[in-house]
Structure 1
Amino acid sequence: MPEKEGIKYASSETLPLTMASLGNSVKKSSAGHNNGAEMDGIKSAEWAAGEASDSKTASGQRPDTVVQLKRVLGLRNGVGLIVGNMIGSGIFVSPTTVVQYTGSVGMALVVWVATGLVTTVGALCYAELGTTIPKSGGNYTYILEAFGPLPAFLVIWTNFFIAKPFARAIVAITFANYLLQVFIPDCSSPPYYAVRLLAAALLCLIAYINCIGVKLGSRVQDTLALTKVVALFIIIIAGVQHLARGHVEYYVDPMKGTMWDVASFATAFYSTLFAYNGWYSLNFVAEELKSTDTTMPRAIAISMGIVTVIYTLTNVAYYAVLTPAEILSSSAVAVTFGNRMLGVLAWIIAFFVACSTAGNTNGSLMIQSRTVYAGAREGHFPKFLALLDDNATPVTAVMFSAVIPLVALMADNVGGLLAYTSFSNNLISLTAVLGLLWLRYKEPDRPRPFKVWLGFPIMYLMVNVFLAVFPIVRRPVEIAVALVTMISGLLVYYICIHRTKPRLLSKIIGKLTFLCQVLFMCSPEEKKE
C-alpha cells in the first residue's frame, strides 16, 4: 500500500475487513497511544485498515483499483453542469437592477451581451488553467499552485465559510417561495416557517443525491438544466410573438434615458455577472472528467454560447413586453412577464424558477464539496473531509457543504451578507487569472493542452480591475466589510494551519476521522504508484 508520512491508506476493498475488526482496533489504538503514537488526523482508522491491507498485499492479492475520484463525466454532463449552474435565479430577477443602473433598454442589452463576452474570455482562461492543472478545486487549486498555501486558504475562508453558504441558503429560500406560489398562488407572503422547512428539505435532498454519487448528481443537474432552458424558451417565444404583432414601442429609441456615468455602468455589470455566475463550475470537478484536455474546453465553449444567446433573447423578450417602470417595480421579472403573457398558465414560470433554483443548489453543492475535499487533501481542512466512499464520492465533504447552509437558514436576514460578497468573488477570480500569467512566466515549458491567446487573460484582468475599483464609489462600506472578512482569515490561518496543532486538537480530529470511516465506510485517497 502507498504510504504518506508513515500512514497506511485503506482501499475500498480492504475497508470492510477493517470495519469487522474495529472494536479491537479501538482498543489497540488506545494502547498504542501509551507508547507515544501520535494521532495526526487519520491514523486510528487507517492503522487497522493497514493491517488488513498489508496481509492481502503479502498474499499477492492486492487490488488493482485505488480509492480516488473516478472519471465518469462526459461532454454532455459538463455542458449540463455549467448551464445548470449558470442559469439560476439571476436571469429571473437581475434585469430589474440592470435597468435601474443603465437607465435604458438599449444600454441594458449592451451590458448583457458585453457580460457574456467577458465571461466567455474568463471561461477560456479557466479552460487553460483546468487543462494545465487537471485537479479538482477550481480557484483554490489554481491559486495554491501559483501563489502558495496562504492565498489559497483565504479563498476557502472567504467563499466557503462566509459567502457560499449564505448564497446557497438564499437560493434555497427562493426555491421555497416560488414552489409555494405554485400551490398557493393567492398567497403574497408565504408562511415564514413553511419557507424555511421547504428550503431545508431541498438542501437535505440535494445532499443525499450527491452522497450517492457524482453520476446521479450529474443526471439530476442535466434534467434541471433542461427545465431551465425550456422556461426561458417559453419566455423568448412569447416575446417574439409580441414583437411580431407590432409592439415595438420600447425599441423605437432604445438608448433614451441612458446613464453614462462609469460607476453606474460598473454596478449594472455586477448584476449581470451575478446572472452569469457559475461559468467556472467544470473546473471544480476536473478530476472526474473524461479526457479533461478536450472535454473541458469544448464544454465551456458550448455552454457559454448557449447561455449568452439565451440570456440576450430573454431580455429582448422582457423589454418588449414590460415597461421600464414595471421592470423596476418587480421583484421577479419572469413571474411578472408570465402573469402578463401566459394568463392561467402563469404558474408554469413559478414552477420553472423553482426548478432553476434547485438545479443551482445542486450544482453549487457539487462544486463546493470538491473544493472542501481538495482543501482537506492539502491540510487546509480537517482530514476527515478528505475521505471517499466505495463510489469514490467525497461523502463527508458533501455533508459538510450542506450543513453550513442549513445553519444559515436560521438567520432572519440571510441575504444581509450577500451584498458584501461580489467584491471578494471578483478579487478571487482576478487572482486565479493572474496566476495563469505567473505560471506562464515561471514555468514556460509546462505542458498546456489548451492555451489561450495572451491577450485574453490581460483583457480579463483589466475588466476585473475596473469592476473592483469603480463600485467602491457607490458601496464603500460593503467593500470595507469584504476586505475585513478576508483579512480575518489571516488570523485563522496562523492559529489553525501555520502553527503546529495542539495535541488535543489532533486527537479530536483523529477520533472524528475514525468515526467517519466507521459510519460512512470511507477511506482516504490512494495514489497509483
Structure 2
Amino acid sequence: MDGVERKRTEAQRSMIKDSDLKRDSGIPERVTLKKEIGLLSACTIIIGNIIGSGIFISPKGVLEHSGSVGLALVVWVLGGGVAALGSLCYAELGVTIPKSGGDYSYVTEIFGGLVGFLLLWSAVLIMYPTTLAVIALTFSNYVLQPVFPYCVPPYIATRMLSTICIRNYESLTPQVAFMFNKAPSIGQIALAFLHASFAFSGWNFLNYVTEEVVDARRNLPRAIYISIPLVTCVYTLTNIAYFSSMSPEELLSSNAVAVTFGEKLLGVFSTLMPISVALSTFGGINGYLFTSSRLCFSGAREGHLPSLLAMIHFKHCTPIPALLVCCTATIVILCIGETHNLINYVSFINYLSYGVTIASLLYYRWKKPNLYRPIKVSLLVPVCYLLFWALLLGFSLHSDPLVCGVGLVIMLTGVPVYFLGVYWKDKPKCIYDFTEWATYLGQRVFFVVFPQIDPIEVAEWTDRSSFTSKASGPL
C-alpha cells in the first residue's frame, strides 16, 4: 500500500508541475473555447453586428423601393418588430439546444444533415462572405468619400481598401411624408423590407457562440430582449434624422448617406462622420468574423466541412482555419459584386434560412413535446413570423425573380456536394490519404488541435434535458 500511495503522490506532483509549466508558458490547461461572454459582451455582440453598416447603406434602398418617406419609416419600424418576433423564437431554440452554430446547429439537430448542410453551404458561400463584403465596401466608400467628394470613388481603390479592412423638417409632415414619387407595388414594398432586413441582420448572431456565453440559459435571452428594441429605436430615430436634414432626392443621389447628413448639419466638423462610420463598420467586420468563423467550426465538428476547420489554436483557443476561410471567401465576393445587388442576394437567403429555422421550432415542439425548455414562447409568435416570411419571400421572388432565383440555385447546388462529400462514406483511399495529409499540414502551419470537451458540462446539459416540459412555463 505504501508503494501505491507513493506512486499516487508522485503522479499528483507531476500533474501539478505540468499544470504550473503550462500556466507559465501561457498554454491553457484545457484547449477549448472559453466561456468569457457575459451579459454586457453579449449585448455588444448583437448591437455591434446589427448596426455595423446597415443603417449607413440600407436607407437608400428602403426609400427607393417604398417610394415615400412615411412608408420608409413604417418599413423600418415593422422590420424591427419582425426581428423581435424572430429573436423570441431563437431565444427558445438557443436555450433548448445549447450548441454554437445558430441556425445550422438547430436545423441539423431537428431536420437532419441534408437541410442543415444546405443552410451551412449557403451561409459559407453567400450569406456571410457577402455581408462581410458589403460592410467592407461601406467602410472603403466612407473613408474615400472625402477624397472624392464630387464623384464615385474608383473601383480599384474601394476594393483594395475593403480588402485591407476585412435640416428639412417639411419631409416629416404627414402630407409630405406619404407623398409618393411613384406608387410602389407590393413587390417593391417587399424589396424595401429585404433592404431593411439586411440592416437588422445580426440579431441571431449570439446563437452562433452559445458555448462561449457565461450562463447561456439566462444571458442569451436577456441579451436578445435588451438589444433588439434598442436597435429598432436607434434605426428609426436615425432615419428621422436623415429625412429631417435632406430631401428624399438628396438621399437617393448620395453615395454616402451619413457623409451627406454630416455636411448638412456639422459644417467644418463633417469629416468626423466618415471616421465614425469607418470605425463602426470596422467593428462590424470584427463581429461578423468572430461569429461566422464559429459557424464553419460547428459545421466541421458535425462532419459537414473538412476537419481542419474544427480545430483551434493550442494557445489562443481561436478557430484560425475557419477564420481564414471566411476571409478568403469575402475577398472573392468583393471582386464580383455591386453593393445593392449583394444586399438583395444575401437578404433573400437570410430570410429563407430564418424561416426554415423557425419552422423547425414548431416541428420540434410536435416531435418532442416533453423536452425541457427553459423558455417557451407562445405559438402565435412563430406562426405570425412564418406568415410574414412566406408573403415577403413570395412577393420578392415575383418582383425580382433573377436575383432571388440565383440565390435559390446557389443553395440547391449544395445537394450534390452533400451526397458526394458527406453522405458517400466509401470514398477511394487516395481521397482519405490526401485529406489526412492536408489536415496534418494545416495543423503544422496554424498550430491547431481539436478542442477538448468537458465531460462534466456535457453531463450537466444531458441531465437537464431529461426533465419534462412541466418545469418550463410560457413566456
Q: Taking structure 2 as the reference length, what is the TM-score of the superposition?
A: 0.85
Alignment counterpart, residue 513 of structure 1, candidates 439, 450, 459:
439
The whole-number CA distance in structure 1 between the counterparts of 2:377 and 2:344 is: 33
Name the structure 2 match of 1:198: 161
- After superposition, the Cα gap between the structure-2 partners of 1:407 and 1:249, relative to the gap in structure 1 and judged at 3 Å, is closer
> Deviation of residue 195 (structure 1)?
3.0
Alignment counterpart, residue 173 of structure 2, candidates 232, 245, 251:
251
> Deviation of residue 421 (structure 1)?
3.0
Alignment counterpart, residue 116 of structure 1, candidates 80, 102, 106:
80
The whole-number CA distance in structure 2 between the counterparts of 1:81 and 1:284 is: 11
Letter in structure 2 aligned against 1:100: E
Alignment counterpart, residue 128 of structure 2, candidates 164, 168, 174:
164
1:163–1:417 contact (8 Å) kept in structure 2: no
Is 1:362 aligned to residue 286 of structure 2? yes
Name the structure 1 match of 2:362: 437
Alignment counterpart, residue 464 of structure 1, candidates 389, 393, 397:
389
Root mean square deviation, CA, Å: 2.4
- Greater shift, 257-266 or 127-136, is seen at 257-266
Name the structure 2 match of 1:489: 414
Name the structure 2 match of 1:39: none
Residues 433-458 of structure 1: CA distance to partner in whole angstroms, max 9, x if unpaired?
01111111111121211221211111
The whole-number CA distance in structure 2 between the counterparts of 1:452 and 1:323 is: 42
The whole-number CA distance in structure 1 between the counterparts of 2:61 and 2:155 is: 26
Name the structure 2 match of 1:138: 102
Is 1:74 aligned to residue 74 of structure 2? no
> Deviation of residue 262 (structure 1)?
2.3
The whole-number CA distance in structure 2 between the counterparts of 1:329 and 1:448 is: 50
- After superposition, the Cα gap between the structure-2 partners of 1:391 and 1:382, relative to the gap in structure 1 and judged at 3 Å, is same
Provide the aligned length of Structure 1 versus Structure 2. 432
- After superposition, the Cα gap between the structure-2 partners of 1:259 and 1:485, relative to the gap in structure 1 and judged at 3 Å, is same
The whole-number CA distance in structure 1 between the counterparts of 2:339 and 2:63 is: 25
Name the structure 1 match of 2:467: none
2:83–2:203 contact (8 Å) kept in structure 1: yes
Letter in structure 2 aligned against 1:200: T
Residues 193-214 of structure 1: CA distance to partner in whole angstroms, max 9, x if unpaired?
44333222212xxxxxxxxxxx
- Greater shift, 368-377 or 386-395, is seen at 386-395
Letter in structure 1 aligned against 2:162: A
1:129–1:142 contact (8 Å) kept in structure 2: yes
Name the structure 2 match of 1:308: 232
Structure 1, gaps ≥5 residues long: 1-55, 204-241
- After superposition, the Cα gap between the structure-2 partners of 1:299 and 1:384, relative to the gap in structure 1 and judged at 3 Å, is same
Structure 2, gaps ≥5 residues long: 1-10, 20-27, 456-475
Residue aligned with 1:88, SS: helix
Name the structure 1 match of 2:403: 478
> Deviation of residue 400 (structure 1)?
1.8
2:34–2:212 contact (8 Å) kept in structure 1: yes
1:392-403 aligned at under 5 Å gives the runs 392-403=317-328
% same residue:
40
Is 1:178 aligned to residue 142 of structure 2? yes
> Deviation of residue 68 (structure 1)?
2.2
- After superposition, the Cα gap between the structure-2 partners of 1:256 and 1:198, relative to the gap in structure 1 and judged at 3 Å, is closer
Is 1:99 aligned to residue 21 of structure 2? no
The whole-number CA distance in structure 1 between the counterparts of 2:215 and 2:430 is: 44
- Greater shift, 382-391 or 260-269, is seen at 260-269
The whole-number CA distance in structure 2 between the counterparts of 1:103 and 1:186 is: 27
Q: Taking structure 1 as the reference length, what is the TM-score of the superposition?
A: 0.77
Name the structure 2 match of 1:344: 268
- After superposition, the Cα gap between the structure-2 partners of 1:512 and 1:198, relative to the gap in structure 1 and judged at 3 Å, is same
Residue aligned with 2:413, SS: helix
2:56–2:256 contact (8 Å) kept in structure 1: yes
- After superposition, the Cα gap between the structure-2 partners of 1:195 and 1:106, relative to the gap in structure 1 and judged at 3 Å, is closer
- Greater shift, 256-265 or 99-108, is seen at 256-265
Name the structure 2 match of 1:285: 209
Q: Relative CO higher for 1 or 2, CA cutoff 8 Å, sep ≥ 6?
A: 1
Residues 249-307 of structure 1: CA distance to partner in whole angstroms, max 9, x if unpaired?
54141323284642222121111111111111100000000010111111111111210
Name the structure 1 match of 2:8: none
- After superposition, the Cα gap between the structure-2 partners of 1:191 and 1:437, relative to the gap in structure 1 and judged at 3 Å, is same
Name the structure 2 match of 1:207: none
